[in-house]
């Protein structure tokens, strides 16, 4: 990591006040074409492209659409940070008016009193789901040397032992037992 990413999180707040004044069924599209970086707690995404359709319903505002983005991930083999291209699919109801009597946890997605929708919680949730547990910077990542820790994608190290493809290491261990 070089310097900390600058966050443009205000772009993740949508003003939907004008939609609330319309009747059920009225809809509008919001398009995103942003190069900024967005930090939502533990999720760092960059770029935000796509179109969301916001529809007024009796319960609030329904958001549907797909956003293309890049999510910061770490390679499980060489530990290098990299950006993983992801699609974030949204199809959710944001309740309006926000119910005051029920605990907030039961309705995480609301339109606030000022007529704004905060997309951060949903982007964080969907972003986490979009990143697989085992992420590789590239399908043929060579990983780190098990002896000196050199990133073998950047060149061979000085270790005398022959380099074993980490994917073949369990096989090698079997052969050594014989």
Q: What is the binding site for Zn ion (CB under 5 A)?
A: 75, 77-78, 137, 141, 145, 147-148, 150, 157, 159
Question: Quick one: 51 or 148, whose CB is closer to Zn ion?
Answer: 148
Q: What is the C-alpha end-to-end distance of the chain, expressed in Å?
A: 44
Give the integer Cα–Cα distance in Å for 28 and 31: 10
Q: Which is nearer to Zn ion, 28 or 163 (CB)?
A: 163
The residue among 16 and 145 lying less far from Zn ion, judged by its C-beta, is 145
Full DSSP string of 70-111: EEEEE-TTT--EEEEEEEEEEEEEEESSPPSSS-GGG---BB
Smallest distance, Zn ion to C-beta of residue 126, A: 24
CB of 174 to Zn ion, least distance (A): 23
- Pair of tokens at residue 28: 């509008």
Q: Which two tokens stand for residue 156?
A: 């061979």
Q: Pick left, alpha or beta for residue 9 (phi over 0 → left; psi -120 to 50 → alpha; otherwise beta).
A: alpha
- Tell me whether residue 87 or residue 147 sits nearer to Zn ion (CB atom): 147
Instruction: Tell me the closest approach of the beta carbon of residue 161 to Zn ion, in angstroms.
Output: 8
């Amino acid at each position: 990591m070089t310097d900390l990413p600058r966050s443009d999180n205000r772009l993740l707040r949508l003003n939907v006040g004008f939609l609330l004044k319309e009747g059920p069924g009225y809809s509008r599209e919001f398009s995103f074409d942003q190069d900024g970086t967005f930090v939502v707690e533990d999720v760092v995404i960059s770029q935000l492209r796509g179109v969301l359709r916001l529809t007024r319903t009796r319960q609030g505002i329904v958001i549907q659409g797909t956003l293309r983005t890049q999510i910061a991930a770490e390679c499980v083999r060489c530990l290098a940070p990299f950006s993983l291209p992801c699609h974030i699919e949204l199809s959710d109801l944001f309740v309006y008016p926000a119910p005051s009597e029920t605990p907030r946890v039961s309705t995480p997605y609301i339109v606030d009193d000022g007529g704004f929708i905060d997309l951060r919680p949903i982007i964080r949730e969907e972003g986490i789901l979009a990143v697989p547990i085992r992420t590789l910077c590239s399908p043929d990542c060579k990983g780190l040397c098990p002896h000196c820790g050199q990133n073998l994608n950047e060149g061979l190290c000085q270790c005398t032992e022959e380099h074993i493809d980490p994917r073949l290491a369990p096989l090698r261990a079997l052969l050594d037992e014989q």
